[in-house]
Structure 1
Amino acid sequence: MNKMTSLHYRHCESQSAEAIPAITGTPKLLLKSQYRGFTPSGISEPQFEVPKFAMTILLLIIFLTSVICHPPSASASSYGVSLTPPLLRVNIKPGKSITQVFTISNLNNEDKLLVARIVPFTQSDDRGNPSIDMKSNPSWLNYFGLANTHIKLGSPFTVKAKSSEQLILTLSVPANAILRDLYSTLLISTYSNISSPKFQGSQVSAAIGANLLVTLHSDINPPTILKISSILPNTGAFFKVGNIYFADNITPLSFSTSVKNEGNFTSETKGIFKVTGQNNTPTYLEGILPVYVISNTQRILLNSEGRNFSFSPNLSQIGFYKIIVQINSENSHTENSIDIFFFPFKIMAGLIFASIFLTVILRTNKTQKIEYFPIE
């Protein structure tokens, strides 16, 4: 999984619809009744005619089903253009320069006309997807450039079919640059006219991008401020009283949490999710998926497999436990925890119900008991 989700979208300006031939006439469905014996003379065989409006509705349903199940497709993946690497993370001192090579691959059977741009962004969602601003034009965009001879930023270039092209991205930071983070995307746009009858006259554009996370600082790992939000159980059998969770110890639990970067520099989420019992002894450990959290944004924390954290207690685990999330990276340390009490609530509820049920049965049988006395 990429540490920052690569940008990938498409835009359709227009799309002409295929002419649909009109349906003339309404066929009739005749059902002939069957007789085991002969048909008496003078009695005509009954015919059952489906009403015209019913047949029209039936044909309309069949047509709509075929359109919905087999729609014309135009996805950006059909362009077969890829960009690697999808992410660049750089810590650079003012007055220094670096160079990074990106590879654009055209897997199609036709040439592609492309345009490369550097587009800034300042925010991202809790999954790391950036919100780029095509209209923004900060002065630090001049720090970036391309060292290619025939390819320039903002100018179209061609990548031959079944071939690749290298973009040599340069970053030159002035000595008097402000110490801060710079967030942008190397955006590669492609344009193509679709000749298929289903898209005749359409123009489709698509773009892919590589996110650029640049930190300008004299220290390799400038300090950041990370805060882990509340740890919340998602699934399982549990309830909360005050600040303590009570959970059944034979039902698996899943937990969700997130982290917020309140500092001015990007940080990475390296840490663990753990469950501790008495004397803070770990009974379960799970790694946190390392991702970058840019400044002043919040990011969902997931396990190393990209899922919510989970824990499956057993019958022997009864009492108080702690659910702890810790992040220990080069420039930050933070943790949060919740208290949880495990108990076999489901088993106890079953035993209580069974006891009540047996008691009711025994009392019912006792009241229905009949005593017989001898006749004198």
Structure 2
Amino acid sequence: MRGVKLCLLICSFAYLLVYLLPKSVYAQSLSLSIWPPLLEVMIQPGRSVTQAYEIANHSEYDLKVTPSIIPFKPANNEGQISLQWENKNFPNFFSFETGEILNTPFWLKSGQTKQVLLKISPPKDLSEKDYYFTLLFSANPVSPSEKNTSSSSTIEVGANILISVSQSGNPKLFGKISEFSCPKVIDSFSPVNFNLKVENWGKTFWKPFGKIFITCFLGQKEEIEILPQNVLAESERKIFVPSFKPKLPLGPFKAKVEFSLNQEGPVKLESQISFWYLPYKILIPLLFVIFFFFLFKKFRPKK
């Protein structure tokens, strides 16, 4: 009886190894990539443009890949997006020149890289404004042993597409600086972190091209390059500014941000703030020591 129990235990353990563990490894080995990850297009209504994408299957298994177009909008001011899955009435002017069909799966073998040509053809009567989409590829693996699609394991990769439809090719850009700030007093041993938020209240996305100019009463002059990040239409964006520490962190400082809404200009936005650098992390404890020293000296019992 003891031998039978031991046999059943070994068989149960073998069952777990064969039927459970491979599925976990199988799900973890899926990998799909797309290039380029971002496309920016300025196009006239009634015209068309073609973009090549490379889809690569880095998995150990063949994949059943389904392409789709999903509109998106900004999710917050950090640059993240929100796919609008429920929006089914968006203007769809996309097709493939290489034979693929939207929402129809195709096979991508293990280790295979496939080039697809996406054609963008906005109609003549399309409103002149921005349209934002994600070219999404959803993939399901095929088990080499079972030869069927696994619906439990799905991976998705996407490339964002920013389309500005404009008849003139030079749409008007509108924007403002909604916030440019930093702490009023900064310790001399710490860097300063600037908060820069900009707002695009136009119909076309743009990027800030400019600098933050920093000056001190001691004659110091330094600059910080602004990273040209996309600010989508009718949205606010927090622009990343690297931490800054002057060579001589002492005294009053002024910081002025200046940028245009494209590389050519001429629209220019600017804002200025002031702040102080003081070694207060050392000064405050030192003042306490001096205060208590004189207090002790004053009230010390006389001999």
Pick aligned residue for 2:269 from 334, 349, 357: 334
One-letter amino acid of the counterpart of residue 356, structure 1: F
Q: State yes or no: 1:144 paired with 2:83.
A: no
> Superposition pairs for residues 218-233 of structure 1, below 5 Å?
218-233=167-182
Q: State yes or no: 1:175 paired with 2:124.
A: yes
One-letter amino acid of the counterpart of residue 252, structure 1: P
Deviation of 1:180 (Å): 0.8
Q: State yes or no: 1:349 paired with 2:284.
A: yes
Residues 249/314 of structure 1: CA separation in 2 closer, same or farther (3 Å cut): farther
Which residue does the alignment assign to 1:153?
A: 102
Q: State yes or no: 1:295 paired with 2:244.
A: no
One-letter amino acid of the counterpart of residue 170, structure 1: K
Deviation of 1:358 (Å): 3.1
Pick aligned residue for 1:258 from 197, 206, 211: 197
One-letter amino acid of the counterpart of residue 92, structure 1: I
SS state at 1:349 partner: helix
* RMSD over equivalenced CA pairs, Å: 3.0
For residues 80-139 of structure 1, give each alpha carbon's deviation from its aligned partner in whole angstroms, at most 9, with x where no partner exists: 110110000001112221100101001122211000011112333223222112232335
Which residue does the alignment assign to 1:192?
A: 141
Distance 1:202 1:139 in 2: 28
Distance 2:248 2:158 in 1: 50
Which residue does the alignment assign to 1:322?
A: 254
SS state at 1:360 partner: helix
**TM-score under structure 1 normalisation?**
0.65
Give yes or no for contact 2:64–2:142 (8 Å, CA) kept in 1: no
**TM-score under structure 2 normalisation?**
0.79
Q: State yes or no: 1:275 paired with 2:225.
A: no
Q: State yes or no: 1:359 paired with 2:294.
A: yes
Residues 73/301 of structure 1: CA separation in 2 closer, same or farther (3 Å cut): farther
Distance 1:252 1:166 in 2: 46
Deviation of 1:73 (Å): 6.4
Give yes or no for contact 2:46–2:124 (8 Å, CA) kept in 1: yes
Distance 2:71 2:187 in 1: 49
Give yes or no for contact 1:252–1:310 (8 Å, CA) kept in 2: yes
Which residue does the alignment assign to 1:113?
A: 64
Deviation of 1:324 (Å): 2.6
Which residue does the alignment assign to 2:302?
A: 368
Which residue does the alignment assign to 1:66?
A: none
Residues 316/140 of structure 1: CA separation in 2 closer, same or farther (3 Å cut): closer
Deviation of 1:350 (Å): 4.3
Give yes or no for contact 1:249–1:313 (8 Å, CA) kept in 2: no
Distance 1:89 1:292 in 2: 10
Distance 1:79 1:270 in 2: 39
Residues 312/89 of structure 1: CA separation in 2 closer, same or farther (3 Å cut): same
Give yes or no for contact 1:250–1:315 (8 Å, CA) kept in 2: no
Give yes or no for contact 1:116–1:187 (8 Å, CA) kept in 2: yes
Give yes or no for contact 1:249–1:318 (8 Å, CA) kept in 2: no
One-letter amino acid of the counterpart of residue 291, structure 2: I
Give yes or no for contact 1:110–1:160 (8 Å, CA) kept in 2: yes
One-letter amino acid of the counterpart of residue 176, structure 2: K
Deviation of 1:153 (Å): 1.0
Point out the structure with max Rg over C-alpha.
1
SS state at 2:295 partner: helix
One-letter amino acid of the counterpart of residue 180, structure 2: I
Which residue does the alignment assign to 1:14?
A: none
For residues 192-244 of structure 1, give each alpha carbon's deviation from its aligned partner in whole angstroms, at most 9, with x where no partner exists: 36799xxxx871222111001000113434222222222343xxxx5xxxxxx
Deviation of 1:351 (Å): 4.4
Give yes or no for contact 1:194–1:203 (8 Å, CA) kept in 2: no
Pick aligned residue for 1:126 from 77, 89, 107: 77
Distance 2:110 2:143 in 1: 16
One-letter amino acid of the counterpart of residue 294, structure 1: L
Deviation of 1:250 (Å): 4.2
Distance 2:89 2:288 in 1: 69
Which residue does the alignment assign to 1:29?
A: none
Distance 1:254 1:125 in 2: 20
Residues 346/122 of structure 1: CA separation in 2 closer, same or farther (3 Å cut): closer
Distance 2:61 2:260 in 1: 48
